Each structure stands twice: as C-alpha cells, then as structure tokens.
Amino acid sequence: MSISSKYSQLWWRLHGRRGLLQRVLYNFDEGVSNGFGYSDLRGLSGTQWRNFGTHLQNLYTPWRNRGTQRPHPFQKHVVGCPSCQMLHCGIKIEAEKGLPEYSSQEGAVEDDNENQFLEFPGGKVQFTYDMNFIPESSNKRVPCYRVLDDYGRQVASNGDYEVDRDLALQMYNSMVTLQVMDTIFYEAQRQGRISFYLTSNGEEAINIASAAALCIEDVVFPQYREPGVLLWRGFTLEEFANQCFGNSADYGKGRQMPIHYGSNALNYFTISSPIATQIPHAVGAAYSLKMNKQQACAVTYFGDGGSSEGDFHAALNFAAVLEVPIIFICRNNGWAISTPSSEQFRSDGIVVRGHAYGIRSIRVDGNDALALYSVVSKAREIAINEQKPVLIEALTYRVGHHSTSDDSTKYRRVDEIEHWKMNRDPVSRFRKWLHRNDWWTEKDETDLRSEIRNKILQAIQVAERKEKPSIENLFSDVYDEVPPNLQEQEKKLRETVARHAEDYPNDVPL
C-alpha cells in the first residue's frame, strides 16, 4: 500500500465466523509511531464490538480529494483517543515492530505492492495501483498439441505413451470399421430401412484413440457421436444393427431412436438426445467413484455446441470444487449443427473455460490419433492419481452432415468440407504413419475394408429379420406395478390396433 508518512494507516484482516478483526495497524506522523498493534478480539461481547467500531470511526476520517496526492481511505492520525494504546472497549493494543518505511516526501512510495495482500476466501489477493481490466481474450491462442503432421510423419515423441505395432493395428482396424459402418448405415437410412442415422465421419480418431487410452472400468457418458468408444469396448456389429433397427434384441427394447446406444456391461451409459445433459451426470458418477475409492474415472464427451449449455458450466464448477476424477472431452468440430463456433462464443474455444473454473486443460489435434492417445492417457493418470478433473478440447471437423435430417451444404461451403475430407482425414493420416513403419500394405487395406463391409451387411440382414419388441414394452420397466391409467391406455391401444390392423405394422407382436 503506497501512502505518505503524513497519513495514518488502518489495516485490518477479517477472519473467522464474525469477521474477526485480528490486527489493527496504525502509524502517527510527527515522529510518533506506535508501530503495529495486535489484539485478539475473539471474546468480545456485542456491546464491546459496537464500542470498538465507534472507536475506529473516531480514530480516522475518510479521505477527501487533495489535489494530485494518491487517494487513500484514511486521512489523518488520531483525532479522538489519546495514544494511550487502550481502546474504549478495554482491549490493549500491544506495539509490534516491523512497520514499513515511508518517505517523508509527499506522494513518494518506497513500500512494495508485491508484499501487500488482501486475505480473502480462496487465498491471498495482491493489491495494485494500476487499474487494468483483464482483456477479453489473449493475443496468442492456446497452442494445439500434435504428434503426427498431416502427412503421417511423426514430428514429436509420445513420451511415456508409445503406441506399439499391435495396439496401432487394433486402433486402425477400429477406425476403419467405424468409417465403413457409418457409410453403410447412412445408406440404409437413405433406403428407408432405418428411420435416422448420424455419422462420425472426420472424428474417428477422437472415438478410437480416446477409447484405447481408457480402461473398461472407466464409466463413459457419451453424447451421440462416439459409437467408436463402444466399438472399441467390444460392442458387436450385430448389437449396433439391433439398436438401429429397434428389434427384440435391442437393449432399449425399441424405445429409442437409432444410434442411441447403451451397454451396462461395457460401462457405457445410454445416449440421451437433449444436449449436454450427460455432463453433470458424469460428474456425479465421478464423485461416486471417488467416495468408493475406486481406481477408475468418469469420461464424458460433448461437442462445442454442448459447451454453450448451462449444464456444461455447472458440471465444470461441480467437478473443480469437489475435485472428482473425470475427463471432459470436447469434440470441437466447428459447427453446432448449422451454428459456427464464431457465433457461439468469443473466447478462445473451450480450453480456456477449464482454466476459468480451475481445471487443468489442454488443446489437442483431434485428427491425430497418437496425440489423442497420449493426452487421454495422461489425463486418466491425473484424474485417478490426483483425483482431479481434466478438460480436453480436441480440434476436429465434422465432414458429414449433422445427421440424416441435415444438409450441411446449406450453411457450409463444399470446398471447405472437401478440404478437410481430403487433406486432414484422421484415418488416412494414421494409415500413412502405419505405412512409414512398414506395418501396413495396400493389400491389407483392401482385405480389411472388404471383410468389414461383408460383416456389416450380414449384421443388417439378420437385424432386419428379427421380430420387433412386443407392444407391452411401451408400458413396462417404469413402475414396479403398472398403475391403472397405463393399464387402461394399453387396453385401448390394443383395441385400436385390432380395429385398424391395416394401419399398423404386422411385425409388432401384440
């Protein structure tokens, strides 16, 4: 704090339940200095507190404008009480040594602002006399971590998270499977065989590389563009097809739209259409893992659009304050359906929001499988060993339409889409890296894609022929005993179907 020695000081620090006034510091000019005074005021009665407040008011008067002198909240030395070192309330102020030195020259400053702090909940806050607003954004954007360049050349080391040949081939196999599966199911929807579909084209690396870095004990809360995580964990092509066709083998019993997968056995919570609702759920699960002292973490995925929802902000604050083992993975693909990032937020993407909430964060190239594997591996170590949340922003691009209900060429340039598809495709980049290591050949590529295509087509044919779930599943699995109103609804539905059988599908058992 900078002031001239002509002016008396009152410094106090608030602490404790009633705002305990721990220290009273004052200094007289005219060469009379009582130094620092100290008094423990824990035992004061209500009357003593009021008397003490009156004493302070009498002791100092507010600062008034005095030309060009530096403003300060206290103007003069003692004007009421004598320097007997006794307060009206009967508490003695004991002199202490160590008062900072002040120049006698008007306005001169010799004390150091860096040594002056405000004791405030959460820690000390340094004082300053420079009125500087925090800028809305930094001139330099947060850098993006990468290991592979666009040509599949490894430009950095993976550190402690090297990917060996077996793991690399398994990752690539899954990335190709996801890519082919998306293509065929998308075509099936266009043929009218399923009602809806949504692809992960351009985001295969985020799916597979992140899944490879996790363990099956880690609980996953997906959005809807992460089927690759489920694929990596062992969800079969038949199980994907059963869900999309909503047959009797579908774990959701045909109650959900296609692509809303889920698996209790694989710790993959069922997808929910509303945006960002899974994020606070994941934090709650992480808190449970922490309380049960399990060596696992929660992982939640969401897009840049999800970060604009209130659930995102509540979840990050919740996770930071409670220090839970969770990894937030944001797929920033530049578009929230038809809304570009530039119309969603003015901040430097999503990564800076983690810092604002007190969460360790990193930005990574979402089309670089090796970089993603390293980042998620390290994030998992932090989450479990330190019991701290981590935010990962993966920069990528949605090459496909948002869903089969969307035509992205209405709001994006075709050449922009083609640029990302041809030059920054994560599957092609990873394949080039495999080629450079002599782990993959063109024949391997042809054989793999042909094999996967045949398996998927077979799975679809079987799923189509399976019986649909019974109509009774519309009313079950909510109440232990079906209430009378639902019993009446089921009865009326059956009567309606029987009366107008030609208007209802004949493959749905009554």
pLDDT tens-digit series, residues 324-343: 999 999 999 999 999 999 99
CA distance 201 to 205: 10
CATH number of the domain at 221, please. Answer: 3.40.50.970
463 and 476 inside one domain: no
392 and 379 inside one domain: yes
Q: Is the dihedral of CA 54, 59, 65, 68 positive or negative?
A: negative
Considering the candidates 96, 110, 187, 416, report the single residue annotated as catalytic: 187
Would 63 be classed as within a structural domain? no
- Main-chain phi, psi angles of 242, to 5 degrees: -60, -40
483 and 393 inside one domain: no
Which pair of tokens denotes residue 270? 């069922």
Would 68 be classed as within a structural domain? no
For the chain, what is the largest distance between any 2 Cα atoms, rounded to a whole number of angstroms?
A: 105
Q: What is the pLDDT of residues 131-154, one digit of tens each?
A: 989 888 888 899 999 999 999 999
424 and 490 inside one domain: no
Looking at residue 49, its pLDDT comes to 55
List residues bridging with 125 in a β-sheet. 118
Total domains in the chain come to 2
Would 383 be classed as within a structural domain? yes
Considering the candidates 77, 260, 401, 402, report the single residue annotated as catalytic: 402
494 and 459 inside one domain: no
List residues bridging with 394 in a β-sheet. 331, 364
Q: How many CB atoms lie within 10 A of CB 47?
A: 9
Would 264 be classed as within a structural domain? yes
Looking at residue 135, its pLDDT comes to 85
Q: Which is more confidently placed, 406 or 48?
A: 406
463 and 487 inside one domain: no
- Please say whether the beta carbons of 196 and 257 come within 8 A: yes
273 catalytic? Reply is yes
Rounded mean pLDDT of 86-103?
Answer: 38
* Range scoring the smallest mean pLDDT among 57-71, 161-175, 353-367, 411-425: 57-71
Considering the candidates 103, 195, 273, 476, report the single residue annotated as catalytic: 273
Would 345 be classed as within a structural domain? yes
CA distance 273 to 174: 25
CA-wise closest residue to 166 among 371, 441, 451, 439: 439
394 and 483 inside one domain: no
104 catalytic? Reply is no
Q: What is the pLDDT of residues 187-222, one digit of tens each?
A: 999 999 999 999 999 999 999 999 999 999 999 999
Say which residue the tokens 């945006």 belong to: 275
Rounded mean pLDDT of 1-18?
Answer: 37
Measure Cα distances from 494 to 134, 491, 504 in Å.
65, 5, 11
Which pair of tokens denotes residue 451? 């094999």
Would 37 be classed as within a structural domain? no
33 catalytic? Reply is no
403 catalytic? Reply is yes
CA distance 340 to 338: 6
367 and 333 inside one domain: yes
Would 498 be classed as within a structural domain? yes
Q: Which domain holds residue 494?
A: 472-503
| Burial group, residue 462, by CB count within 10 angstroms (0-12, 13-18, 19+) | middle
345 and 488 inside one domain: no
- Please say whether the beta carbons of 10 and 109 come within 8 A: no
Looking at residue 80, its pLDDT comes to 40
382 and 485 inside one domain: no
Looking at residue 332, its pLDDT comes to 97
CB-based contacts of 313-317 (< 8 A; 24+ apart in sequence):
313/353, 313/357, 314/280, 315/279, 315/280, 315/282, 315/283, 316/353, 316/354, 316/357, 316/359, 316/389, 316/391, 317/357
Would 93 be classed as within a structural domain? no
371 and 230 inside one domain: yes
416 and 482 inside one domain: no
Considering the candidates 341, 361, 377, 403, report the single residue annotated as catalytic: 403
